[in-house]
Structure 1
Amino acid sequence: MENLLLLHGALGAASTMEPLANALQERFKVHTLDFTGHGGRPLPQEPFSMQLFVQDILRLLEEKEISSTHIFGYSMGGYAALSLAQQHPQCVKSVFTLATKFSWSPETAAKEIKLLNPEKIAEKVPAFAQALATRHHPQDWKQVMHKTAEMMLYLGEQPDLTSDVLPQIQVPVHLAVGDQDNMVSVEETLWAYRQLPKAQLQVLPATRHPLEAVSVDKLNQEIRQFISQATVSI
Structure 2
Amino acid sequence: MDNFKLNYVAEGEGETILFIHGLSDNLLYWEVLANILKKDYRVIRVDLRGHGETPLGSDEITINVYSRDLKNLLDELGIDKVNLIGFSLGGAVALDFAIKYCETVSSLVVMSSFSKCDEYLKKTFTEFKTSLSGGFEEFYDYMIPKVLCPEVIENNLKELEMLKQISSKTANVEAYIKATDACLNFNVDCELSRIDVPALILSGRYDEICPTRYQENLENKIKNSKLIVLDNVKHNLLVGKNNSVISKFLNDFIKNKNVK
1:132 aligns with 167
Match of 2:249, SS state, is: helix
Between the aligned partners of 1:121 and 1:33, the Cα distance in structure 2 is 21
TM-score by length of 2: 0.79
2:98 aligns with 85
- Which residue among 164, 167, 171 is the counterpart of 2:193? 167
Between the aligned partners of 2:121 and 2:17, the Cα distance in structure 1 is 31
Q: How does 1:182-197 map to 2 (within 5 A)?
A: 182-197=208-223
TM-score by length of 1: 0.87
Where does structure 2 lack aligned partners over 5 or more consecutive residues?
A: 1-13, 142-159
Q: How does 1:66-105 map to 2 (within 5 A)?
A: 66-105=79-118
Between the aligned partners of 2:230 and 2:181, the Cα distance in structure 1 is 30
Residue deviations 1:58-111, cap 9 Å, x none? 111112111111111111112111211111111100001111123512442232
Percentage of identical aligned residues: 21
Q: 1:103 to 1:131 in 2, by over 3 A?
A: farther
- Letter aligned with residue 146 of structure 1: I
Deviation at 1:21, TM superposition (A): 0.8
Deviation at 1:36, TM superposition (A): 1.4
- Contact between 1:101 and 1:188, CA under 8 Å: does it hold in 2? yes
Deviation at 1:222, TM superposition (A): 0.7
Deviation at 1:133, TM superposition (A): 2.7
1:144 aligns with 175
4+ residue runs of structure 1 moved beyond 6 angstroms?
none
Match of 1:165, SS state, is: helix
Deviation at 1:120, TM superposition (A): 6.2
Between the aligned partners of 1:218 and 1:212, the Cα distance in structure 2 is 9
Match of 1:213, SS state, is: coil
Q: 1:69 to 1:217 in 2, by over 3 A?
A: same
Residue deviations 1:145-168, cap 9 Å, x none? 22123223323xxx1x21x20001
Where does structure 1 lack aligned partners over 5 or more consecutive residues?
A: none
Between the aligned partners of 1:146 and 1:57, the Cα distance in structure 2 is 20
- Letter aligned with residue 206 of structure 2: Q
2:233 aligns with 207
> Which has the larger displacement, 214-223 or 122-131?
122-131
- Letter aligned with residue 216 of structure 2: L
- Figure out how many residues of one structure are paired with residues of the other and give that number: 224
CA RMSD of aligned residues (A): 2.3
- Letter aligned with residue 172 of structure 1: P
- Contact between 1:47 and 1:151, CA under 8 Å: does it hold in 2? no
- Letter aligned with residue 112 of structure 1: F
Between the aligned partners of 1:203 and 1:64, the Cα distance in structure 2 is 34
Match of 1:114, SS state, is: helix
1:6 aligns with 19
